[in-house]
Structure 1
Amino acid sequence: MATGVLLPDYIFESSWEVCNKVGGIYTVLSTRAKTLQTVLKDRIIFIGPDVFKGDNPYFKEDEALFNDWKAQAQHDGLSVRIGRWMVPGEPVAVLVDFSKYYNDKNEIYTRLWELYGVDSLHAYGDYDEASMFSYAAAKVVESFYGYYLDDTKKVIYHGNEWMTGLGLLYINHKLPQVATLFTTHATSIGRSIAGNNKPLYDYLFAYNGDQMAGELNMQSKHSIEKQTAKYVDCFTTVSEITANECKELLDKPVDFVLPNGFENDFVPKGAQFTRKRKAARKRIFDVANALLGMEIDDENTLVVSTSGRYEFRNKGVDVYIEAMNRLLRDNRLKKNVIAFIEVPGWVGEPRQDLIDRLVSGRKYDTPLHVPMLTHWLHNMSHDNVLDMMKYLDMQNRKDDKVKLIFLPCYLNGEDGVFNMKYYDLVLGNDLCIYPSYYEPWGYTPLEAIAFKVPCITSDLAGFGLWVNSELGRYGEITDGVKVIHRTDYNYSEVADKIKDTVAEYSNFTPADVKKSRDNADKLSHKALWSNFIKYYYQAYDFALKKAEERKKTIK
């Protein structure tokens, strides 16, 4: 650490995804926790929403932790549970019940407007829920600070996403001696522009964020995000591509880019890795046989998949299906392909006919009805994946070299069909494909290569850009990551590039495959938190120096 760099004595970090697994932010915070816990030893305190009320699978209450303050917190009107986040490092977590603040919602929003010009008039959906949590989280920090700390301590309050904006502004106003840091993992308006099939990148310079927020009915989320970015001590995001988005749509350049790192503690090693990969492939082939009614030869079959949130265009699910359809007619394809789409849809129940076949342990030579779906959906006739497969006449026929299977549920080990967790299943893949149109970072490709699975991604993903910067050129599949150039308008070329890459990989010799897998593994090690945490220390230093200056004026 350079001389003169300020390090925090305490960090409070809040997010809707603390002890609440929803998406990628959970992975960011939960994997980074161990690194910060090693340095700060229970002086990194995560604050999350008490959404489970009772038993929370990610949280373990500890009555002894900060027990003296807990009585004060109750006196301050806070309802909190204090314990450990059950992730590596087991950092302190405070879960707060925010429901009581709904009664004060109008007064809270009015004050926010008066102090910071935040427009909450157009709030709907999750805006109120997120804001009341954010307010409660800030009250937790205020209470804890008042009980244990004073302005001799260097304290950071770090909020993630627009959902923590109200709390950051509350701390900015009430505790000016605390340094505030805000990370946007994706701008609400940028995601909305992309999700509404508007060209985001070519016209980014011409979009007015406020105007687009009005057009897309996003005024309140955009307003809290924009004003928080403006007033905090340090404004950050996760990649250069999103930094550009922030500058154009929020009218505020970021102070730092904080790339998302990874901990690979849970990646199996040696014989255990080989055993787990073998088990994953056996389960994949058993399910495929039961569904498709065909013999599958491990040696002559490639297993590929895409996964993530069900954002059909943003995550590139549409172009993935298009690529698999084109691959059906590519004569260079030397192996059969079983391609999965692992995105949670509006899932109904696991297919009983499929379960019955799996339980029997027999091999089948006739397909099930609808042989492209592992679980029934509530909206079978209005599902984007099934609609596109129907439009392209992708029926998983016996002679098709590419079979596409939709697995529309969370892989938590209890889905009823695979009954394996995502990390246990992904290492059975030969390739993972994430051709995102909108992807500020991209954990799924980083997770894939950590399990030695080469992947395909795009240069509209922060991770794809990082790979290119590490290599000094566009990544190829032999490097472990193929990075495809993607724009607003080259959908067809992207589909062809994916198709060509899979066909190329099917022709690899065992030595070529080993080289690609080894390179994927090596690249993943460069993205460990031990290499990326330095960017956080720079941001902490930047924010703390602003707070130190402010303290002089307060005194």
Structure 2
Amino acid sequence: MGMKRFFLWEVSFECGNKVGGIWTVITSKAAEVAKKFNADYTAIGFFNPEKSEIIEEVPPKWLLKVLRNMKKNHSLQFRYGKWVDANDVNLLLVDAREFQQKNINDIKAKMWEWYGIDSMNAGHDYDEPLAWSYAVGLLLEEIAKYTVGIDVVQCHEWLAGGTLLYLRHQNAHLPLVFTTHATVLGRAIGGATPGDNPEVLAAQHNVKAKHMLECAAARVADAFTTVSELTGEEATSILDKAPDVITRNAMDGQSLPPLSEMLKLKVQAREKIDEFVKAYFLPYYPLDLGDYPILYTAGRYEFQNKGYDLLIDALGKVNHSLKSQQSDKWLLALLLVPAGTLGIKEEVIQNFMSYSRMKDSLKEEWEGLSDTIYGAGDNQQILKEKMDSLLHSSKEFVSKLSRFKGKTPPLCAFRLAIPEEEDPILQKLKQNGLLNRQEDRVKVVFYPVFITRRDELIGMKFKEIITAASLGGFLSRYEPWGYTPMEAAAHVSVALTTEHAGFGRSVATLGDQVKGISVLKNEDLVNQTARTIETFSKMDKDERLTYETSAYKIICDNYLWKDAIKSYFRAYDIALKRMARRVGSDSSSESASSLPVQA
């Protein structure tokens, strides 16, 4: 018997609709998935008219027929094309708004009848993904009638759970895979111990219907996976279901330049950061910009969950220690945490404009020096006058720039939408004596906007900033995986993570000799972090670089999708075998090598 053809349908609310970390997972692994399934790989996502990431094109004739039937029979709308952020893989966006209006009560009744899911008190944030994912289930049931081969269905998170639950109730001849990136209840309680009755706790946190749907999807899937051992333990406790496979997250190796190129990019990005630092701090006092490390943290504004309070406490200790030692070392801490803003502070705008104007003026004078040298010949007096003029201009430049001498640079570059005394990050900085005084050895810039190259101050992409950095600090109290420290290491920065993160747990298994990624213990976390940062800040540039390059190599050797994707493929193989037993088909006669993933 010939080898069967395999289709992969990857269903997620975030396919073509960037919301959070799952978008990063799927887009980063798309290239490796496409290598195996080629044109038979399609991502199915939620149509968001405000931010769809698709280059539309006409579907294949057979699929066009399916979509027309679904539109006619179920009031569904579709967009088909290429997903521009995911290596141009096939993308099918489903618009189920009208379908939801007509059918949501009936769908919720079926979920109760089939799986005992109580959604009486659930709101729109439950109804919308349920209706959408249920509609995707109807769509895939119809698609399977036209494809010649085996259709593997990969569903991510509870938001796609309706797809799996519908198809499982129909006993569809489709291998069904469910992946949990973090349980609904786990997110709600921040990774705390759920106790004896997770369902009661879910009700207390108003996530009962989502939790019950997630439990059902994990229970009836042909294969169930989680993205880390940490999330696997959480699922076992909260969902009462252990994962069949751990599908660890990774980086897209194709998007990472070789180390030599990364180091060149690091130098270029560092020069841009230096310009930002000059404009931000020099109007207040001089700084030695020859050799200073840059620490950054980034993420959603979840003050305690992301551990910003812990990191700021640690930075406060570092600042106090370096000051008490009268050290000449200093470091810059960039807190890249978006919040509501009302624009750049006027003081900051004026400083940047003054710096730019004076720098351009001084540059013109220095460029004119060559003409003077050639024109003066042996006339030393002309040369002396020109040099004196340049020296005077340079001193005037410094004098004019230091117009806020005696004051301190603002901790935040932007006007916040709330009073600064109510902002947790700013209050924590002040409590720790991190005030950007001249004597402070830790300088801080809280940058509460999304980073884009169009930014009026930094003018860099986010990846440029983290490439320029020396150290990324991520002390989350709850982090099912943790892309941010992995991303920091991949961009040649030392990464600080913890045992609370799935990535941290994974790195810890690599042994004690790992250099460049520090996995901090949960006990005495602030003091550990402070000691690590202080030790690193005292290193010279070359010594720091050995740790930074080591971090990059750890990612390349252990956390690229070219290897990590195999765990997903193992899950598909498990699902294929279990589906065959479930429906009593002859698919079980297909050897493991039938899956393209095993080739």
Q: Could you report, residue by residue, the CA deviation over 1:85-125 in whole angstroms, capped at 9, with x for unpaired residues?
A: 11353110001112113322111101111001112122135
SS at match of 1:300: coil
Relative to structure 1, is the Cα distance of residues 286 and 355 closer, same or farther in structure 2, using a 3 angstrom cutoff? Answer: farther
Relative to structure 1, is the Cα distance of residues 504 and 413 closer, same or farther in structure 2, using a 3 angstrom cutoff? Answer: same
Residue 118 of structure 2 corresponds to which residue in structure 1?
119
Residue 521 of structure 2 corresponds to which residue in structure 1?
485
Q: Could you report, residue by residue, the CA deviation over 1:254-295 in whole angstroms, capped at 9, with x for unpaired residues?
A: 111110011133334467534532342233333333333344
Residue 254 of structure 2 corresponds to which residue in structure 1?
265
Residue 491 of structure 2 corresponds to which residue in structure 1?
451
Residue 535 of structure 2 corresponds to which residue in structure 1?
504
Tell me, yes or no, if the aligned pair for 2:434 and 2:442 is still in contact at 8 Å: no
Tell me, yes or no, if the aligned pair for 1:155 and 1:544 is still in contact at 8 Å: no
User: What amino acid is the match of 1:522?
Assistant: K
Q: Percent same amino acid among aligned pairs?
A: 29
Residue 412 of structure 2 corresponds to which residue in structure 1?
373
Tell me the CA shift for residue 459 of structure 1: 1.2
Tell me, yes or no, if the aligned pair for 2:495 and 2:516 is still in contact at 8 Å: yes
Out of 390, 396, 414, the residue aligned to residue 436 of structure 2 is 396
TM-score (norm 1): 0.89
User: What amino acid is the match of 1:372?
Assistant: L
Tell me, yes or no, if the aligned pair for 2:185 and 2:207 is still in contact at 8 Å: yes
Tell me the CA shift for residue 32 of structure 1: 0.7
User: What amino acid is the match of 1:119?
Assistant: D
SS at match of 1:63: coil
Residue 311 of structure 1 corresponds to which residue in structure 2?
302
Tell me the CA shift for residue 68 of structure 1: 4.4
In structure 2, how many angstroms separate the alpha carbons of the residues matched to 1:142 and 1:359? 60
Q: Which moved more, 1:185-194 or 1:544-553?
A: 544-553
In structure 2, how many angstroms separate the alpha carbons of the residues matched to 1:351 and 1:7? 63
TM-score (norm 2): 0.83
In structure 2, how many angstroms separate the alpha carbons of the residues matched to 1:129 and 1:97? 11
SS at match of 2:410: coil
User: What amino acid is the match of 1:549?
Assistant: R
User: What amino acid is the match of 1:483?
Assistant: V
Map 1:428-447; keep pairs closer than 5 Å: 428-447=468-487
Aligned length: 529
Task: Note if 1:62 corresponds to 2:26.
Answer: no
Residue 329 of structure 1 corresponds to which residue in structure 2?
320
Task: Note if 1:49 corresponds to 2:38.
Answer: no
Relative to structure 1, is the Cα distance of residues 285 and 463 closer, same or farther in structure 2, using a 3 angstrom cutoff? Answer: same
Task: Note if 1:138 corresponds to 2:137.
Answer: yes
Residue 92 of structure 1 corresponds to which residue in structure 2?
90
Tell me, yes or no, if the aligned pair for 1:14 and 1:159 is still in contact at 8 Å: yes
Task: Note if 1:278 corresponds to 2:272.
Answer: no
SS at match of 1:87: coil
SS at match of 2:91: strand
Task: Note if 1:20 corresponds to 2:8.
Answer: no
Task: Note if 1:180 corresponds to 2:180.
Answer: no
Relative to structure 1, is the Cα distance of residues 243 and 286 closer, same or farther in structure 2, using a 3 angstrom cutoff? Answer: same
Task: Note if 1:192 corresponds to 2:224.
Answer: no
Residue 74 of structure 1 corresponds to which residue in structure 2?
71
Tell me the CA shift for residue 218 of structure 1: 1.8
Residue 333 of structure 2 corresponds to which residue in structure 1?
339
Relative to structure 1, is the Cα distance of residues 350 and 48 closer, same or farther in structure 2, using a 3 angstrom cutoff? Answer: farther
Tell me the CA shift for residue 71 of structure 1: 3.1
Residue 236 of structure 1 corresponds to which residue in structure 2?
225
In structure 2, how many angstroms separate the alpha carbons of the residues matched to 1:378 and 1:16? 30
Q: Could you report, residue by residue, the CA deviation over 1:211-251 in whole angstroms, capped at 9, with x for unpaired residues?
A: 21122222122111111111111111011111111111111
Tell me, yes or no, if the aligned pair for 2:118 and 2:212 is still in contact at 8 Å: yes
Q: Which moved more, 1:237-246 or 1:284-293?
A: 284-293
User: What amino acid is the match of 1:109?
Assistant: K
Residue 465 of structure 2 corresponds to which residue in structure 1?
425
Tell me the CA shift for residue 129 of structure 1: 2.3
In structure 2, how many angstroms separate the alpha carbons of the residues matched to 1:117 and 1:474? 50
User: What amino acid is the match of 1:33?
Assistant: A
> What stretches of structure 1 of length at least 5 have no aligned partner?
1-5
Task: Note if 1:354 corresponds to 2:348.
Answer: yes
Question: What is the root-mean-square deviation of aligned Cα atoms in Å?
Answer: 2.5
Tell me the CA shift for residue 82 of structure 1: 0.3
Q: Which moved more, 1:308-317 or 1:181-190?
A: 308-317
In structure 2, how many angstroms separate the alpha carbons of the residues matched to 1:123 and 1:46? 28
In structure 2, how many angstroms separate the alpha carbons of the residues matched to 1:412 and 1:69? 40
Relative to structure 1, is the Cα distance of residues 308 and 314 closer, same or farther in structure 2, using a 3 angstrom cutoff? Answer: same
Map 1:517-536; keep pairs closer than 5 Å: 517-525=548-556, 526-536=558-568
Q: Could you report, residue by residue, the CA deviation over 1:445-494 in whole angstroms, capped at 9, with x for unpaired residues?
A: 11111111111110111111111112x2385xxx01011011xxx4xx21
Tell me, yes or no, if the aligned pair for 1:8 and 1:540 is still in contact at 8 Å: no
SS at match of 1:42: helix
Give the number of the structure whose residues are more often helix, by fraction: 2
